[in-house]
Amino acid sequence: MARKFLVLGEVRDGSLRNVSFEAIGAAKLAADGGEIVGVLVGDSVQNLGNELIQYGADRVVAVENVQLKQYTSDGFAQALLAVIEQEKPEGIFFGHTALGKDLAPKLAGKLESGLISDVTSIEEEGGNIVFTRPIYSGKAFEKKIVTGGVVFATIRPNNIEPLAKDESRSGDVAALNVDIKDLRTIIKDVVRKASEGVDLSEAKVIIAGGRGVKSEDGFEPLKELAQVLGGAVGASRGACDADYCDYSLQIGQTGKVVTPDLYIACGISGAIQHLAGMSNSKVIVAINKDPEANIFNVADYGIVGDLFEVIPLLTEEFKKLKV
């Protein structure tokens, strides 16, 4: 049975986030050959519609309103509810991002529908869409279905492959006017922390440092390796607590959950709370001078040694491969 799904295209700094293309890939798996409608919400976003189509959406609905320039859950919920009312989909997919984690439950609650968050894979089984998500800090996976109502799902970045971009695809990008009113929050200004390079939650390569990095300056070799590999720098809470880096880099149970293709843990012991945020990475490399460190129990490749000797050697070798 063909189904219709909506996918929110999340816009940051004027560009679509990669996880939105992955969410289209997820919706394709769920839609069983049905229609995928991209949704854009903002004050000037309609121009991004074609990119959603090139990644697999059949058509796009864009809600533009000056009141939607900055994300507020009230404003975006009104926009999405209007699109849902018009399109009557079977489900809506979001990225499992700060925005998706805020908006999807709000809408699911308003429509008294089911929500499945942090989805890592989707299959069709006997006519049901079966969603898989990690539980118990990634130690187990559960499979869930939603019966009745609109299915809301947030898709964990870097787990479901996006479709290849096809620049020859075209489709309709239609505007939908929505009267946005009664906003309880007005965002006057957004002041961003200066961040360097690739977004941690969507990075394909992460070089993470722990207390073994020993100082703020100790992160420099990790940054250099990350730059050579086109990756992002992350950290354990040990490193954040010691003030070697900002808490925005923290990975783990109380930090970000990441699933890059390659995770290089440098001077990180492998506490259970850290593993909760990275153990589903595709390939894990651990560098630690203690051969008994717990991180080696989850690592695919282990290097017993001093990170300040090992990382510069790796960086030099990767530089040679790039020439």
Residues that bind ligand FAD (CB under 6 A): 210-212, 236-239, 250-255, 267-269, 271, 273-274, 277, 287-290, 293, 306-308
The rounded distance, in Å, linking the Cα atoms of 254 and 84 is 33
The distance of closest approach from Cβ of residue 270 to ligand FAD in the complex, given in angstroms and rounded to an integer, is: 7
Residue 17 or 211: the one with the smaller Cβ distance to ligand FAD is 211
Long-range contacts of 286-293 (CB under 8 A, 24+ apart): 287/311, 288/212, 289/212, 293/268, 293/269
Nearest-approach distance from CB 298 to ligand FAD, in angstroms: 13
Whether 61 and 81 have beta carbons less than 8 Å apart is answered as no
Least Å distance between CB 266 and ligand FAD? 7
- Residues 89 and 140: their CA atoms lie apart, in Å, by 31
Does residue 113 have a known ligand-binding role? no
Residue pair 315/223 in contact (Cβ under 8 Å)? The answer is no
In the complex with ligand FAD, which residue's Cβ is closer, 108 or 239?
A: 239
DSSP 69: S
Residue 251 vs residues 107, 145, 208: alpha-carbon distances, Å: 28, 29, 8
> Is 148 annotated among the ligand-binding residues?
no
Nearer to ligand FAD, 7 or 266 (CB): 266
Cβ of residue 316: shortest distance to ligand FAD, in angstroms? 18
CB of 303 to ligand FAD, least distance (A): 9
Smaller CB separation from ligand FAD, 22 or 118: 118
Question: Is 253 among the annotated ligand-binding positions?
Answer: yes
Instruction: Determine whether the annotation assigns residue 3 to a binding site.
Output: no
Name the DSSP class of 250: B
The DSSP call for residue 177 is: -
Q: How far is the CB of 247 from ligand FAD (least distance, A)?
A: 10
Q: Is 270 annotated as a binding residue?
A: yes
Is 267 annotated in some ligand binding site?
A: yes
Based on CB atoms, which residue is closest to ligand FAD, 89 or 209? 209
d(CA 273, CA 310): 25
Nearer of residues 44 and 273 to ligand FAD, judged by Cβ: 273
Q: Which residue is nearest to ligand FAD (CB)?
A: 252
Q: Collect all residues with Cβ–Cβ distance below 8 Å to 316 and sequence separation of at least 6.
A: none
In whole angstroms, give the CA distance from residue 65 to residue 153: 25
250 marked among binding-site residues: yes
| C-alpha–C-alpha distance, residues 177 and 157, integer Å | 30
CA atoms within 13 A on the CB side of 92: 29
Min dist CB 241 to ligand FAD, Å, is: 8
Q: Which is nearer to ligand FAD, 198 or 295 (CB)?
A: 295
Q: Let me know: does 26 contact 56? Beta carbons within 8 Å.
A: no
Q: Which residues contact 182 (CB under 8 A, 6 or more apart)?
A: 74
User: Is there a binding annotation on residue 92?
Assistant: no
252 is in an annotated binding site: yes
Residue ranges of the annotated binding site for FAD are 211, 236-237, 250-254, 267-274, 288
Residue ranges of the annotated binding site are 211, 236-237, 250-254, 267-274, 288
